[in-house]
């Protein structure tokens, strides 16, 4: 059964975590929509791994210290958490800004703690020909149109939501603006740094994502030393929600390949 935990990473930075399963440690990082967007993914991975799913500071009512103002700060905090626990051979899975944080962790991982990456429709890099959609400029209809393959199924009218849920979403978006608002949704230096990341990186992409397109994903995967792009049909920015079976199957296949030949998971160009 999953267990909720809290730990103090720095004197002013408590972390809220959910952990489940045993085996290889797997850090699962949510996107701007909060931890609920990776709950099913965490449950799936916990069947065969030790799934560690934090709530990013500032999301869902958790505390964000004033100095934590960028995804790089978040990445270093999670790296320090892994180091403090003495974890090795860690798989990091990240969705959207969680994927960005995972990539930032990988370029800073001088100790070789991380041995695999799964990035699901991540933002975080600048691709000249494929600009990132201005999420903050979209209303609820716009988010549904650009982020989902089946927008009618996933659109939620804010007027019908409980006031508490609306307040949490508003606070989450305020935190997202602080961490990823300027420069908008990317680190200008990250793309060129990814070539130095020498762990197999699987980038999963919803075919219908129009926040960051599959073409953006192809450039992202190409930037890694050992990156590979796999497109999920009939899915948008969160394929783990729209097409969970296909997403989980892609991750399971990647893990089987790594287990069979950790160095043989070469980039598929």
pLDDT greater than 50 at residue 147? yes
**Is the residue at 269 inside a domain?**
no
Q: Is position 268 within any domain?
A: no
Residue 111 within a domain? yes
Is 265 inside a domain boundary?
no
Domain that holds residue 85: 3-259
Residue 80 lies inside a defined structural domain of this protein: yes
Long-range CB contacts (within 8 A, 24+) of 241-250: 241/37, 241/40, 241/154, 242/148, 242/149, 242/150, 242/154, 242/206, 243/206, 244/40, 244/41, 244/44, 247/41, 247/120, 247/204, 248/41, 248/44, 250/202, 250/204
pLDDT band at 49 (very low <50, low <70, confident <90, very high): very high
Span 62-83, average pLDDT? 97
Q: What is the CATH number of the domain that holds 110?
A: 3.40.50.1820
Length of the chain: 269
The pLDDT value recorded for residue 155 is: 85
Is 267 a member of any domain?
Answer: no
| pLDDT > 90? residue 159 | no
Average pLDDT of the chain? 94
The rounded percent of the chain whose pLDDT value lies above 90 is 89
pLDDT score at 124: 98
pLDDT at 93: 98
Yes or no: say if 53 and 38 are a contact pair by the CB < 8 Å rule: yes
Mean pLDDT of 102-119: 97
pLDDT at 268: 37
As a whole number, mean pLDDT of residues 160-181 equals 95
Q: Work out the end-to-end distance of the chain between its first and last CA atoms, rounded to an integer number of angstroms.
A: 40
Q: What is the mean pLDDT of residues 240-250?
A: 98
For the chain, the domain total comes to: 1
Per-residue confidence band for 263, with pLDDT thresholds at 50, 70 and 90: low
149 located within any domain: yes
What pLDDT does 172 receive?
A: 96
Q: Region 161-181: what's the mean pLDDT?
A: 95
Distance CA 43, CA 93 (A): 13
Q: What's the whole-number mean pLDDT along residues 213-218?
A: 98
- Report pLDDT digits (tens) over 9-33: 899 999 999 999 999 999 999 999 9
Q: Tell me whether residue 266 is in a domain.
A: no
């Amino acid at each position: 059964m999953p267990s909720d935990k809290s730990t103090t990473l720095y004197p002013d930075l408590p972390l809220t975590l959910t952990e489940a399963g045993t085996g290889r440690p797997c850090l699962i990082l949510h996107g701007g929509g909060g931890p609920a967007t990776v709950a099913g993914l965490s449950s799936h991975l916990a069947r065969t791994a030790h799934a560690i799913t934090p709530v990013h500071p500032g999301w869902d009512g958790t505390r964000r210290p004033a100095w934590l103002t960028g995804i790089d700060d978040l990445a270093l905090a999670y790296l320090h958490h892994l180091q403090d626990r003495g974890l090795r051979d860690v798989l990091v899975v990240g969705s959207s800004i969680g994927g960005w944080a995972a990539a930032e962790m990988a370029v800073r991982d001088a100790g070789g703690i991380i041995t695999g990456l799964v990035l699901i429709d991540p933002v975080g890099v600048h691709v000249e020909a494929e600009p990132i959609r201005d999420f903050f400029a979209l209303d609820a209809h716009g988010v549904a149109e650009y982020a989902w393959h089946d927008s009618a199924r996933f659109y939620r009218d804010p007027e019908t939501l409980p006031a508490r849920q609306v307040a949490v979403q508003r606070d989450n978006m305020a935190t997202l603006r602080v961490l990823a608002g300027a420069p908008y949704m990317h680190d200008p230096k990250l793309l060129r740094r990814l070539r130095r990341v020498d762990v197999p990186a699987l980038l999963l992409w919803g075919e219908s994502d129009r926040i960051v397109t599959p073409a953006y994903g192809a450039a992202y995967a190409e930037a890694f030393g050992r990156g590979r792009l796999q497109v999920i049909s009939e899915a948008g920015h969160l394929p783990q929600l729209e097409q969970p079976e296909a997403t989980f199957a892609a991750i399971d296949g990647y893990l089987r390949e790594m287990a069979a030949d950790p160095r043989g998971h070469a980039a598929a160009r």
